[in-house]
Structure 1
Amino acid sequence: MLDRLKNHITQNFPFLENKKLLLATSGGLDSIVMARLFNQLDYAIALAHCNFQLRGLESFGDQNFVQDYASTNNIPMFLTQFDTEAFAKDYKLSTQVAARDLRYNWFYELLETEGFDYVLTAHHADDNIETFLINLSRGTGLEGLVGIPAQNDKIIRPLLLFSREEIANYAKENKIEWREDSSNASDKYLRNKIRHDLVPLLKELNPHFIPSFQKTQSYLQESQVMVEDASIMVYQQVAKQEEEGIYFDLNQLRKLPNYTSYLYQWLHEFGFSAWDDIYDLVESQSGKHVFSAEFRLLKDRDSLILSPIDLEANSEEEYFIDEGMEDVKIPLNLSFCKVDDIYIPTNTTIFVDQEKLEFPLVLRRWNDGDNFQPFGMEGKSKKVSKLFKDEKLSLLEKENVWILWSGNKIVWVVGIRQDERFRVDNKTQNILKIELE
């Protein structure tokens, strides 16, 4: 097993040579065998143990065991303890997810503060099978079937080529002691039920199940690479990045065979799960949308628009601007200064008669009933919503428009059009320039 691991590292992880490695060590069979192997290969290693305090005295027994192992073998060790259940409750997570998040956050912290290059975890071939079957049972895309990655950023999993049985046999042959986690015996968790009942049956049906499975996963991984390459090429034809979000051209999208597969490939990383609703957006009316926790997909005419959700946005919020203020930073960057002369106003700069203003000015988002007198159209009013239509603004662009008010009159549809009633004329004595930066 030692020689196989050495060859595996040479072929797949040659960059580990002369690096400082942090080994995630629970005290269980897999992590202790990994520690023994890398210590024998003379790598610069240290152990990192998390006490999640989930199994009472047993958790502290694991901690003491790893401490003794590190001391006996002269291996540096890092230890931390977590109140995992409190963390899970505070952040509304399952205990397993909370433990995983705490664990990996701490590992990355150690990489940064202690100068380690990589974290090694002891996942093996049976873990890969179990993860595959869990994802398969819950429903997943291709990415859920390709297995646990051998490398994910700074996380390396060097034991994936070995089965649990091989690791156990190596430990017994070399008289290696380890700690058994009592929770592994319980079928309360789906993974344990698959481990105890389903995987042994599959191995019984096919004695060569693990190598056959590994070969199948390698094919799936190759297929995923091909899918990702095709997805990138098609994305460049269909999608366009704008300031307010990503626009997907529906006319181009509908030309694709199985366009739903491309939508899944592009959008799943943004946390969406209501896929039928997303696919229905393609043929729905403008204004329909689907949300994930942090993003929104909006149908607007011939586009789907992906944008982050502004969690702080509030259509009722107002910002007051007192006379004499020179700069406003929230919600927009506006500057106010007196000038002696004017030039033709633009979308980002207007000139107004300061004497006509009623302070404080107010910034708020637009409402459906808002009316104003567009610059250059004296005596004629227009709905702001009609201005948006004439300007061909998308629904997303409309949502981000702010209005500058003086009393009950619009001074400026900011960034789009000034109001005629505040324009500079031959009676103006004080000119105020307002600029959107």
Structure 2
Amino acid sequence: MKDGNMVQIYSYPSITEWNSIIKRESLNDPYQVTHVVNSIIQNVEKYGDEAIKKYSKKYDHADITEFRVTEKYFNQAMRKVSNRFKKSVEKAYSNIKYFHKKNILEKDIKIKVSKGVVCWIKYIPIEKVGLYIPGGNAPLLSTILMLGIPALLAKCKNIILCTPPNQDGSIHHDLLYISKYIGIDHVYKVGGAQAIAAMAYGTESIPSVYKIFGPGNTYVTMAKKIISQKSIVSIDMPSGPTEIAIIADNNANPKFVASDLLSQSEHDPESYIILLTINNKLWLNQLDKELKKQYSQIVERKNIVQKSLKNSKIIILSSLKDCIKLVNDIAPEHLIINCKDSYYWANKVINAGSVFLGNYSPVSAGDYATGTNHVLPTYGYAKSYSGISVSSFLKRISFQMISKEGLINLSECIEDLSSEEGLLAHKKSINIRLQNDSS
């Protein structure tokens, strides 16, 4: 490994070294986090609103007397938002809704499995869902669109949104505007682990839900994990720090690649950032110059970017085939394939949250406006989880209708299998029907 000024560089590591290089930081939270979150959950379950008021004062430094946002504050938000912002929201909303609507594949189709046996699956909206949106002075506005639009397309009956208040007890007007624009007006001023607990168990003011969606800090993530283990409430997916992997060759513009590395690094000091390349020294020197140049122009969140880049890695490999093999081991949240024949290489990807092809497909576009969802699996969970879609807000119920003739055709199979399992009452439930001529 060579230590560059801003990132770590690994030149042609052997396959035996790959796992150690791409290893993520452990997701095991300190005992203290688990202890604190467990205490919050137990208190919210037991004391409801009073517990939330206490935690809002302690963590958000806000005195909250009424948790639900009233129509008055939605109206104020409508007046504060600029026309330009409204047009941008409209465009993003239109693209996200269009893409998600086109990808609704769940249809009730009756299937004649065999003579007299008809089966089907019905897709039912999850009745009550909760959306968690990190807020405060830098609310994740776009996540309202990414969660709210598919929830509404799925026709969930009850949708609530929880977000942390500012110190004066207010909610950012842009956040309220977007919520109202898409049709979510049950917004509650509560954040952190206490919001997750409130949505799971319900309080005097905040209704309980069946599934919780949305990103958050270590405490929110731990609360979701504990809630999913200790209650009937499910969560969207496990989560960790945001991630990007980039595959680049000489077709990639070093300026663009540098901007992608920097844009992802401003999320979190623990952002997971890897560049896989087959490029020569000249290209890498150009990239290094661009990183330094663009970094010097950063004003906001510079400290976060610096810490994140320090843990970033450039891995030089012998071929794009090796790059694809390694990226499938990584299973990144975001993957940019910026090389010749990017579409060809994209077809080799089997593990990733969302993939971006070519020089003009930055992750930032998918974060806001292309139409795909930016709530994606991290920490390698892309090997078994998908990003949010309308399906995330639906559940499946299977149905079957069997005629007497159909049951006769199945009877021998059912009797043999149930007998071998020692479940003779199962066998009898078949025989009693076939012996009843009046049916």
Do both proteins adopt the same fold according to a TM-score greater than 0.5, normalized to the shorter chain?
no
Larger relative strand fraction: 1
Q: Return the structure number with greater relative CO, CA threshold 8 A, min gap 6.
A: 2
- TM-score for the superposition, normalised by structure 1: 0.26
Higher Rg: 1
